[in-house]
Each structure stands twice: as structure tokens, then as C-alpha cells.
């Protein structure tokens, strides 16, 4: 069935001029079937630049929404409509409006892991790749509301010295990684470098040799001398890192490091999305225009 699905996917995407985009956390076979693999920032940039008529987004809902926001003239498909993001669900547009009312004049920095409605209520979006530079771009006399990830926000504070009003959201997958688990892996692999995602808690980040976005972790492993690395992010990413760095020994920071939502999309669902042109992602135009401004500002900052 998988071989038949792969053959159909390759044929069908040419028929409809589709680009298959996949996040690094997707199933290995989805990554292998994709035309472009990346983290949130890379995927957003690719969505804004592609000349494909159809974008098939193998990720979660907020990523597909971002693609539609940036390329409204294109058909954007999400192969499994249930693929969501618990962190994005931890804040609503109404909650953000209430927070803005308590801090008039504050600049809202919104992590891209959020709904289109929340992006529309924000001044600028960021990803884990450029969050530090986004915050540095904001005048020092302005208060900053940072939503929804408290861990990324705390890391940005530590790197910029800016005090921010942090929303109490978090990634359930990264947030459960503990400093003890890092220490246990360090004992098992005493020569290994530790590199973690900034969605991890501050006590985990304190144990790391490096803190990087998903794409940044790959760059770190590729460019850092040494053969062993303890990786503090979702397990799906190891597929790409191992392919790019076959001579390196990689160890997950914890035994169960999986985002269930990122695993919903299968080859069969991808093939069906292309066949049936489902599920089409739509964003109301008034929301899209406001969210587009926040995303465009994000894309302007490296």
C-alpha cells in the first residue's frame, strides 16, 4: 500500500502542480515524500515564495493556516484536519485582547505556534529561530507581551535582558523534559554535546551546551566537532539529522519524545488529500490581512 501511495503521490502532485511541505517532526515516510522539509520559519518562507498552485502541508493546523495567510491565492490542504497544536489552543484572540487592554501600548510578540486569530491580534510574529532578534528589534521603552510559550519567552528574556509579560502556555512535548533526564543521558554519554529546543523548560536549557531552533539543531550537529549529541526535541527530527549526519551518534534526551499531532498524517492520508483535494484550509479575509502583517514583519527579520 505504501509503495502504491508513493507512486500515486508523485504522479498526482504533478497533475495539479502541488508542493508537498513537511515539518521535521512528521513521520519519516512523510518527510521522504515531501518536496520541502523545514522548521516553522523555513516552511513559512517557502509557502510565501512557491509558485505551486497547491500547497499540501504535512504539519499541524497553525502551519497550514500560516501558509494560507501568506499565499491566499493558493489552495492549501491539510491531510488530517485533526492535526492541531495544544500550545496554540492555550490562548484565544479574546484572551489576548483582554491582556492587551491591561497593558495599553505594549507590543504583542506572538510565537508562530498560534491560531490565525491570535496572529491577527498581534503586532509581530516570531519563530524559535528569530525570536531573540524580533524582541531586539522592539524599542526598549515599549512593554512586550509574549504569547503563548512561556519557555521560549523565558529564554528570549535571558538572551536579550528584556523583561516581558509572558503568557502561561507551553508545548506539552518539550515542557515535560527534565534536567534529571538530561543528566541521565549525560552520564550514559559523557562525551556528548547537549543541544535542546528553546521550548524546553529553563532548568533544561541551563544544562545544555547549545539552545537552537529545530533547523538550528541540525546546523549545530553538522558544524560542531564531535561524534555524539544528545538531542532535546521531538523524535521525528532524528530521521533528517541522521540522514544529513550519518557519521554522528544521536541520542534522544528522553525515551518518549513524541508529538502525537505531528504523527496523524500518513502516506495514505496524504494521497487521499491530493486525490480529493481535502482538507482545504481557509482563513477569513479580515483576519488574514491582519495576521499577514504580523507574519510579514516576522519574515523581514533574520
Q: Does residue 224 surpass a pLDDT of 70?
A: yes
The chain-wide mean pLDDT, for the chain, equals: 96
Boundaries of domain holding 156: 88-172+291-299
Beta strands in 127-192 (DSSP E): 144-147, 165-166
Where does the pLDDT of residue 169 fall: very low under 50, low under 70, confident under 90, or very high at 90 and above? very high
**Burial bucket for residue 45 (CB in 10 Å: 0-12, 13-18, 19+):** middle
Q: Are residues 246 and 266 in the same domain?
A: no
The cell numbers describing 237, all together, are: 527530527
Q: Are residues 214 and 268 in the same domain?
A: no
pLDDT of residue 74: 95
Q: Please report where in the chains the cell 506539552 appears, as a residue.
A: 172
pLDDT in tens, 104-124: 999 999 999 999 999 999 999
Question: Which CATH number is 57's domain given?
Answer: 3.40.50.10800
pLDDT of residue 3: 77
Q: Are residues 248 and 112 in the same domain?
A: no
Residues 6+ apart with CB under 8 A from 245: 221, 222
The cell numbers describing 94, all together, are: 479574546
Beta strands in 24-152 (DSSP E): 36-38, 54-58, 75-77, 107-111, 124-126, 144-147
What mean pLDDT comes out for the span 216-232? Answer: 97
pLDDT in tens, 16-35: 999 999 999 999 999 999 99
Q: Does residue 87 surpass a pLDDT of 90?
A: yes
Residues 6+ apart with CB under 8 A from 199: 128, 149, 151, 152, 170, 171, 173, 174, 175
Q: Please report where in the chains the cell 494560507 appears, as a residue.
A: 68
Q: Are residues 239 and 274 in the same domain?
A: no
Tally the residues of the chain.
Answer: 302
Q: Are residues 157 and 295 in the same domain?
A: yes
pLDDT cut 90: percent of the chain above it: 94
**Burial bucket for residue 191 (CB in 10 Å: 0-12, 13-18, 19+):** exposed
SS3 140: coil
pLDDT of residue 292: 96
pLDDT in tens, 60-73: 999 999 999 999 99
Q: Does residue 138 surpass a pLDDT of 80?
A: yes
pLDDT in tens, 188-206: 999 999 999 999 999 999 9
Q: Are residues 156 and 295 in the same domain?
A: yes
Q: Are residues 62 and 101 in the same domain?
A: no
pLDDT of residue 176: 98
Q: Are residues 159 and 295 in the same domain?
A: yes
What mean pLDDT comes out for the span 41-58? Answer: 91
pLDDT in tens, 229-256: 999 999 999 999 999 999 999 999 999 9
Q: Are residues 295 and 160 in the same domain?
A: yes
Where does the pLDDT of residue 2 fall: very low under 50, low under 70, confident under 90, or very high at 90 and above? confident
Q: Which residue has the higher pLDDT, 65 or 44?
A: 65
- As a whole number of angstroms, the distance between CA 18 and CA 13 comes to 5
Q: Are residues 148 and 181 in the same domain?
A: no
- As a whole number of angstroms, the distance between CA 118 and CA 71 comes to 18
CA count, 13 A, side-chain hemisphere, 18: 29
Q: Are residues 7 and 71 in the same domain?
A: yes
In this structure, are residues 74 and 65 in contact, taking their beta carbons and an 8 Å threshold? no
What mean pLDDT comes out for the span 161-177? Answer: 98
Q: Which helix (H) or strand (E) holds 290?
A: helix 285-299
The pairing of beta strand 193-196 with beta strand 228-232: parallel
Residues 6+ apart with CB under 8 A from 190: none
Structural domain count of the chain:
3
- As a whole number of angstroms, the distance between CA 302 and CA 297 comes to 10
Q: Does residue 44 surpass a pLDDT of 90?
A: no
pLDDT of residue 302: 75
Q: Are residues 179 and 245 in the same domain?
A: yes
Amino acid at each position: 500500500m505504501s509503495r502504491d501511495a508513493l507512486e500515486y503521490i508523485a504522479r498526482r502532485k504533478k497533475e495539479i502542480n502541488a508542493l508537498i511541505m513537511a515539518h521535521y517532526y512528521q513521520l519519516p515516510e512523510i518527510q521522504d515524500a515531501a518536496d520541502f522539509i523545514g522548521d516553522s520559519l523555513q516552511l513559512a518562507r517557502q509557502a510565501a515564495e512557491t509558485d505551486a498552485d497547491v500547497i499540501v502541508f504535512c504539519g499541524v493546523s497553525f502551519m497550514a493556516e500560516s501558509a494560507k495567510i501568506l499565499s491566499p491565492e493558493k489552495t492549501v490542504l491539510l491531510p488530517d484536519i485533526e492535526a492541531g497544536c495544544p500550545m496554540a489552543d492555550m490562548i484565544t484572540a479574546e484572551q489576548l485582547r483582554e491582556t492587551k487592554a491591561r497593558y495599553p501600548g505594549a507590543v504583542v510578540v506572538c510565537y508562530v505556534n498560534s491560531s490565525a486569530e491570535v496572529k491577527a491580534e498581534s503586532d509581530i510574529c516570531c519563530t524559535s529561530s528569530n525570536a531573540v532578534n524580533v524582541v531586539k528589534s522592539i524599542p526598549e521603552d515599549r512593554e512586550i507581551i509574549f504569547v503563548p510559550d512561556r519557555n521560549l519567552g523565558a529564554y528570549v528574556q535571558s538572551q536579550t535582558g528584556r523583561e516581558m509579560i509572558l503568557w502561561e502556555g507551553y508545548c506539552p512535548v518539550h515542557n515535560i523534559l527534565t534536567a534529571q533526564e538530561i543528566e541521565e543521558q549525560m552520564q550514559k554519554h559523557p562525551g556528548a554535546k547537549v543541544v535542546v529546543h528553546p521550548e524546553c523548560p529553563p532548568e533544561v536549557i541551563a544544562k545544555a551546551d547549545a539552545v537552537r531552533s529545530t533547523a538550528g539543531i541540525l546546523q549545530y550537529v553538522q558544524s560542531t566537532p564531535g561524534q555524539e549529541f544528545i538531542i532535546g526535541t521531538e523524535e521525528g527530527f532524528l530521521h533528517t539529522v541522521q540522514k544529513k549526519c550519518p557519521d554522528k551518534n544521536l541520542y534522544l534526551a528522553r525515551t518518549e519524545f513524541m508529538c502525537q499531532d505531528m504523527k496523524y498524517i500518513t502516506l495514505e492520508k496524504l494521497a487521499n488529500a491530493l486525490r480529493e483535494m481535502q482538507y482545504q484550509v481557509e482563513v477569513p479575509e479580515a483576519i488574514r490581512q491582519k495576521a499577514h502583517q504580523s507574519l510579514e514583519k516576522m519574515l523581514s527579520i533574520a
